[in-house]
Amino acid sequence: MAANKRRLTFKATLAQISVPATSANLGPGFDSLGLALDLRDRYAAQVLDDATFDVDISGESSSEIKRDKSNLVIKAMLHGFEHMGQKPKGIALRQLNVIPHGRGLGSSAAAIVGGLALARLLVLGGEQLLTDDEMIALGTEIEGHPDNIAAAVLGGATIAWTENNAEKSLGRAVGIKVDPKIKALLFIPEAHLATSKARKLLPENVPHADAALNAARAALLVHALESRPDLLLEATQDLLHQNYRTEAMPKSMALVTKLRAAGVPAMISGAGPSVLLLHTMDELEVEAVIKVGAATFTAQKLGISTLGVE
């Protein structure tokens, strides 16, 4: 029986999940490398017998998020249900947002992966009907790129790519083990930046030498994350996207430049404007680095989340 003709058995219970924040690119790995951070949005949902979408939202940017079927979590849930074979009549959703929005920390990927995971949990046998690989592919369809989606699903560090078949591009990913000594430090600004605006600043063409440097650094970064954190500064160098976006986030790029000149592996998180540091510093060193950006940014010390959506 074709998937779109399959009759599903919806569970009557409440499904609850959490999804990590994610940072993409990690310097040179544009649209391919991602990292899950120990900061989580939480969602709970239930299938309704009535054609109603009951959405309640609290936390980060709650007043700006839609509370009907156009809510991104609801849209992802419906996409997941449709993939498995059948949409329910209605959905009740409770959404607690912790991940800052518009700061390059994967808030939209968290909503998408959260919705897909809720749909899977609310269907009897959902784990077989919607695998992690399929969740990454469906999430990429909605998001448009696989890097944050992959890290939100799998946790840890991930390498993501798109694979073309006869019908469409499929998001794919594999996980990378991260050296447990590596920690994250975020500098989060008040300013927001839409990913779409950040992408418009990128040129159509880049010098061949810059592309070659980025390819080498991205390959080195995989090794640095796994077992050589001493190489993180060299491995996070980027010439492909960050400098082109300076006009949209001058304070963030100034902080990245200042920290890297001092030997600290700093980079723009995703499309920005948050700044991410990957480090093995002790507490005194971390506090000293925090003072560098204290006037303009809110600093947040985080671990790497080894678990994705759960």
CATH number at residue 268: 3.30.70.890
Residue 117's H or E segment, with its range, is: helix 107-121
For 277-295, what is the mean pLDDT? 96
Residue 307, domain member (yes or no): no
Q: Which among 176, 192, 212 is the end of a domain?
A: 176
Specify the DSSP class assigned to residue 63: G
The confidence score (pLDDT) of residue 260 equals 98
Residue 271, domain member (yes or no): yes
User: What is the per-residue DSSP string for 213-269?
Assistant: HHHHHHHHHHHHHHH-GGGHHHHT---SSTGGGGGG-HHHHHHHHHHHHTT--EEE-
Query: Distance of CA 26 to CAs 44, 151, 167, 193, 257, Å?
Result: 31, 12, 31, 17, 15
First and final C-alpha spacing in the chain: 30
The confidence score (pLDDT) of residue 246 equals 94
User: Between 130 and 193, where is the model more confident?
Assistant: 130
Q: Is the pLDDT of residue 298 over 70?
A: yes
Spatial separation of the C-alpha atoms in residues 116 and 99, rounded to whole Å: 18
The confidence score (pLDDT) of residue 166 equals 67
pLDDT tens-digit map of 124-183 = 999 999 999 999 999 999 999 999 999 999 999 999 999 987 677 899 999 999 999 999
CATH number, position 84: 3.30.230.10
Residues 161, 89: one domain? Answer: yes
Q: Is the pLDDT of residue 250 over 70?
A: yes
Residues 258, 236: one domain? Answer: yes
Confidence (pTM): 0.95
Residue 308, domain member (yes or no): no
Q: How large is the C-alpha radius of gyration of the chain?
A: 20
The confidence score (pLDDT) of residue 193 equals 87
Query: CB of 252 within 8 A of CB of 277?
Result: no
Spatial separation of the C-alpha atoms in residues 53 and 89, rounded to whole Å: 9
Tokens of 241: 């996207």
Residues 168, 95: one domain? Answer: yes
Number of H helices, E strands in the chain: 10, 10
The confidence score (pLDDT) of residue 4 equals 56
Spatial separation of the C-alpha atoms in residues 8 and 234, rounded to whole Å: 51
Residues 85, 231: one domain? Answer: no
Spatial separation of the C-alpha atoms in residues 28 and 142, rounded to whole Å: 24
Tokens of 195: 């990913």
Query: Distance of CA 243 to CAs 73, 185, 291, Å?
Result: 33, 21, 24
Identify the sign of the CA torsion 188, 191, 195, 199.
negative
The confidence score (pLDDT) of residue 164 equals 84
pLDDT tier for residue 2 given thresholds of 50, 70 and 90: very low
Residues 50, 159: one domain? Answer: yes
Spatial separation of the C-alpha atoms in residues 13 and 106, rounded to whole Å: 28
Domain of residue 227 covers 183-302
pLDDT tier for residue 5 given thresholds of 50, 70 and 90: low
The confidence score (pLDDT) of residue 6 equals 81
Residues 108, 197: one domain? Answer: no
Residues 115, 223: one domain? Answer: no
Residues 167, 261: one domain? Answer: no
pLDDT tens-digit map of 30-46 = 999 999 999 999 999 99
Residue 7, domain member (yes or no): yes
Residues 218, 284: one domain? Answer: yes
Residues 62, 110: one domain? Answer: yes
Percent of the chain with pLDDT over 90: 92
Residue 122, domain member (yes or no): yes
Residues 75, 168: one domain? Answer: yes
Residue 207, domain member (yes or no): yes
User: Between 6 and 123, where is the model more confident?
Assistant: 123
pLDDT tier for residue 83 given thresholds of 50, 70 and 90: very high
The confidence score (pLDDT) of residue 1 equals 36
User: Between 63 and 183, where is the model more confident?
Assistant: 183
Place of tokens 């082109």: 244
pLDDT tens-digit map of 252-279 = 999 999 999 999 999 999 999 999 999 9
Residue 309, domain member (yes or no): no
Residue 310, domain member (yes or no): no
Q: Are strands 298-302 and 183-188 parallel, antiparallel or unpaired?
A: antiparallel
State the helix-helix crossing angle for 72-84 and 107-121, rounded to 10 degrees: 40
Residues 200, 153: one domain? Answer: no
Torsion on CA atoms 273, 277, 282, 286, rounded to nearest 10 = -20
Q: Which among 161, 176, 191 is the end of a domain?
A: 176
Q: In total, how many domains does the chain have?
A: 2
Q: Which among 129, 160, 176 is the end of a domain?
A: 176
Spatial separation of the C-alpha atoms in residues 105 and 235, rounded to whole Å: 21
